[in-house]
Structure 1
Amino acid sequence: MIKAVVFDCDGVLVDSERINNTLFAELVTRAGLPTTLEQSIARYMGRSTVESLADVERELGRPVGFDLPAEYERLALARQREELAAVDGVRELLGLLRDAAVPVCVASSGTPHEIAFRLDRTGLAGYFGPHVYSAYMVARGKPEPDLFLLAAERIGVHPADCVLVEDSPYGVRGGKAAGMTVIGHAALASADTLRAAGADHIVTAMTQVPPLLGLG
């Protein structure tokens, strides 16, 4: 029986992944490693900026030469002030979970500041209260299970009793490693990619999630 639902933020709660990956690809290209939007999605989506930067610098064989995480956060927040919206159907899903008294939380690779901004900007913060957890709170980010284990511990629910909604293969792998049931939201990452990462269910819209949770 499902006792809690854990949500990734970017691409699951807020429609930000195309913005984020477009900007990240531009910055990595500026650093000297030509990168397309599609390559950014495949290599970095779902991971923390710091861990992604480490991969970039390993491939370059040198530091990027500028504060890429700070520049990324500045540019992303500027774009999101103008363009950010909640993912279609997620507000209704959160309302159903609230009505059913099912605990929810956020487990995201974003910084605490980035997550708070995105939830506030889209009016979703009130659904989660203090239960917002960042990869910057644990030693290892996605695809390791640390963030999801922290989230389950903080909301007081065993990981096996949690459903995770994720849109990246890194997040899916982390959720499965933590012992959670994972719903893969195939938006930018393909259904096949999420299924190969271990997703138990695949959806292409949030309206498909309630029946999987026994709601609506």
Structure 2
Amino acid sequence: MDTHMTQAPEPTVREAVALVVFDCDGVLVDSEPIAVRTHVALGAAYGWPLSEAEVIEEFVGRSTASIGEKIGGRLGAAVAEEWDERFRELHREAVDAALPAVDGIAEALDALDGLGLPYCVASSGSHEKMRHTLGRTGLYERFAGRIFSATEVDRGKPAPDLFLHAARRLGVDPVRCAVVEDSAPGVQAARAAGMRSFGYAGGVTPAARLAGPGTVVFDDMRALPSLLTGVSGQNI
């Protein structure tokens, strides 16, 4: 797969990256196709016909609470609650049947380990969900103790709260954080937090929806370490 990039503007002061903040679904684990298909099926069952493109536009990258608000506004709170319960059941069954890690993520994490560059997870998903998906793909132990959920903050993405919370907990200045995201709300949250953002376009979200100020768009996870360190070998 060819890598294409939209380079972020040159910062006034060049700070070395001290923490890489990964989203989970679609960045570490290839679960977004499962989630999209599940929401399409539930939409058909509950009377809100949705295409995959519409699910990506409306739901991908958002917290469970935010998705529930959207469904509740359309179909009522009782249906939203039932939809969420059914989604959890169907999603877990599909994950247990087959859930790969995102292609190239193991190599990328190995390279970051070699560089001595710390990383964490900050996801719209719950801790329970991340334990399950990261556990199924063998990635949980690589992030244990450095996993943050939107359930810990007042506002989910695209608000910056979760990323700022992760940086604060790990004692890193936001300007020295780099966020790896695969959704429009995710890269918007990174920009709002004052962090450099890297939009992974190898998943369900089109590259055009990830592009924007301060964002590098790429589509091969193996390229991430070199994007983070720069072709000159110096940290961006």
**Which bracket does the TM-score occupy, shorter chain normalised?**
over 0.9
Q: Does residue 1:47 correspond to 2:62, yes or no?
A: yes
**How far did 1:62 drift?**
6.0
1:172 CA drift (Å): 0.6
Report whether the alignment pairs 1:183 with 2:198.
Answer: yes
Partner SS, residue 213 of structure 1: helix
Please identify runs of 4+ aligned residues in structure 1 that moved more than 3 A.
60-63
For the residue of structure 2 that corresponds to 1:183, the secondary structure is strand
Give the stretch that moved more between structures: 3-12 or 18-27: 18-27
**Which residue does the alignment assign to 1:169?**
184
**Paired residue secondary structure (2:79):** coil
Matches within 5 A, 1:86-97: 86-97=101-112
Taking structure 1 as the reference length, what is the TM-score of the superposition? 0.94
Q: How does 1:3-14 map to 2 (within 5 A)?
A: 3-14=18-29
Work out the CA distance in 2 between the residues paired with 1:214 and 1:62: 47
Which residue does the alignment assign to 2:84?
A: 69
1:193 counterpart residue number: 209
Give distance in 1, aligned partners of 2:44 and 2:81.
12
**How far apart in 1 are the matches of 2:30 and 2:71?**
25
> Against the structure 1 CA distance between its residues 65 and 122, is the aligned structure 2 distance closer, same or farther, given a 3 Å change threshold?
closer
Per-residue deviation, residues 54-105 of structure 1 (Å, max 9, x unmatched)? 1122133664265222211111111011110111110111111112221110
Query: How many angstroms apart in 2 are the aligned matches of 1:200 and 1:23?
Result: 30
Mapping for residues 121-140 of structure 1, pairs under 5 Å: 121-140=136-155
Q: C-alpha offsets along residues 191-211 of structure 1, whole Å, 9 cap, x if unaligned? A: 111114x45101111012111
Three-state SS of the structure 2 residue aligned to 1:163 is: strand
The answer as to whether partners of 1:50 and 1:69 remain within 8 angstroms in 2 is no
TM-superposed CA distance for 1:30, in Å, is: 2.1
Aligned residues: 215
- The answer for the alignment partner of 1:79 in structure 2 is 94
Q: Tell me the distance in 1 between the aligned counterparts of 2:183 and 2:133.
A: 18
Distance 2:76 2:148 in 1: 32
| C-alpha RMSD of the superposition | 1.6
| Partners of 2:102 and 2:76 in 1: CA distance | 38
C-alpha change, 1:123 and 1:51, in structure 2 (3 Å) is same
8 Å CA contact 2:72, 2:80 repeated in 1? no
Cα shift readout 1:91-141 (whole Å, capped 9, x = no counterpart): 111111112221110011111100111111111112112110111111110
Counterpart pick for 1:105 among 120, 137, 142: 120
Which of 1 and 2 has greater Rg? Answer: 2
Cα distance in 2 between the residues matched to 1:92 and 1:138: 31
Change in Cα spacing, 1:200 to 1:80, as seen in structure 2 (3 Å) is: same
5 Å-filtered alignment, 1:148-167, equals 148-167=163-182
> Gaps spanning 5+ residues in structure 1: where?
none
Secondary structure, counterpart of 2:121 in structure 1:
strand
3-state secondary structure, aligned to 2:229: coil
Confirm whether residue 31 of structure 1 aligns to residue 46 of structure 2: yes
Partner Cα separation in structure 2 for residue 65 and residue 139 of structure 1 = 20
Question: How far apart, in 1, do the equivalents of 2:223 and 2:56 lie?
Answer: 23
Q: Kindly provide the amino acid, as one letter, of the partner of residue 148 in structure 1.
A: F
TM-score normalised according to structure 2 size: 0.86
